[in-house]
Every structure is written in C-alpha cells, then in structure tokens.
Amino acid sequence: MHEAMSLLERLLQAADEGGRLGSVIEILVLQALAYEAQSNDALALAPLSRALVLAEPEGYVRIFVDEGTSVAVLLEKAAKHGIAPNYVRHLLTALGKAEDRTPGNQVMIEPLSERERDVLRLLATNLTGPEIARELMVSPSTMRTHTSHIYGKLGVNSRRAAVRRAEELALL
C-alpha cells in the first residue's frame, strides 16, 4: 500500500505542476479511497476535501460517480463533517444515494434566489444558455454560475432534470 500511495503522490505532483485539474481531482479521490480502505477516515477526508473544493466550481460529477458506492461512503462522511455540503448533496444525488428522493417528500434545504428562479423559468423554455443570458442581461459565465447553483440546490445534474425537479416541487 505504501508503494501505491507513493505513486499517487508523484502523480499528483506532476498533475498539479502540469495544471491538469481533472487529473488532480481524480488522483485526490483515489488517495481518499486508499486511506478509507485502510480505515483511516481522518487521512481520507483531507484529499477528498481538496478534491471537492477544486471540483465544485467546475461542476465535476463523473469523476466521483465513476467510483460508485465506495466514494459514496466517503461523501457521506464528508457531509457529516460539513465539507462542501451543497456539492456533496449534489454528488450523492447523482450517485443515487440521497436520503429521501420521493417527489412528495422533497424539501429544498436552501431556497432558490429570485434571480435563480428567473433562470429556472427560462431553463424550462427552448432558449439556449447564451439566449437566456442575453434575455436576463447577464454574461454567459454568470448564467452558468446561476445554473450550477440551481442544479446543486435541486440535486440534479442536467437542465431537463432541473425542470422536472422544479415541477415536482411546484417551483414552476
């Protein structure tokens, strides 16, 4: 195990120096899983926390989902420690591990802002992202930020799923 951890550390350093964010996140997740396999939760949460901090602004999901239930256990531990709570909830939802996802019992922990509601209403139309940004007179980057926040708050990872969840919650 020591050799594997040493290799991961060298790979992490190379990925960091090369500015390969996706690789950095993936290696951090692997480090966390390796520590968790050794039953060392304290050490496992450090690389996982860094991975979450790096992944959240870019909306990485697949790197975590591809690891399946093993990473779900770690994400649940991260949630208990208050590490990136909205993003962790979003990832757990993507993994199918959210506590209660039946439509009748869903409650949003954090409500949508008025601007997010405006974006959500337009997401339900046939307008493209850039068209929505123009309609709201915001930059495409701001539009993506609002969309990312909406996805996180609704626990979804696509436009169609956001609209469907919003309808279930009577937000539209």
CATH number at residue 111: 1.10.10.10
pLDDT band at 31 (very low <50, low <70, confident <90, very high): very high
Residues 19 and 44 both lie in one domain: yes
> Which of 57, 72, 94 is the last residue in one of the domains?
94
Residues 86 and 38 both lie in one domain: yes
HEC secondary structure over 40-88:
CHHHHHHHHHHHHHHHHHHCCCHHHHCCCHHHHHHHHHHHHCCCCHHHH
Alpha-carbon distance 105 to 108, whole Å? 10
Residues 16 and 67 both lie in one domain: yes
Residues 144 and 87 both lie in one domain: no
Instruction: For residue 152, give its domain range.
Output: 103-168
Across the range 125-154, mean pLDDT stands at 94
- The backbone torsions φ and ψ at residue 85, rounded to the nearest 5 degrees and listed phi first, read -55, -45
**Count of domains observed in the chain:** 2
pLDDT tens-digit readout, 118-128: 999 999 999 99
pLDDT tens-digit readout, 52-111: 999 998 888 888 888 888 898 899 999 899 999 889 998 988 887 544 444 444 556 578
Alpha-carbon distance 104 to 132, whole Å? 30
Q: Is the pTM of this model over 0.75?
A: no
Q: Structure tokens of 45?
A: 């949460």
In the chain, what percentage of residues exceed pLDDT 70?
92
Residues 71 and 125 both lie in one domain: no
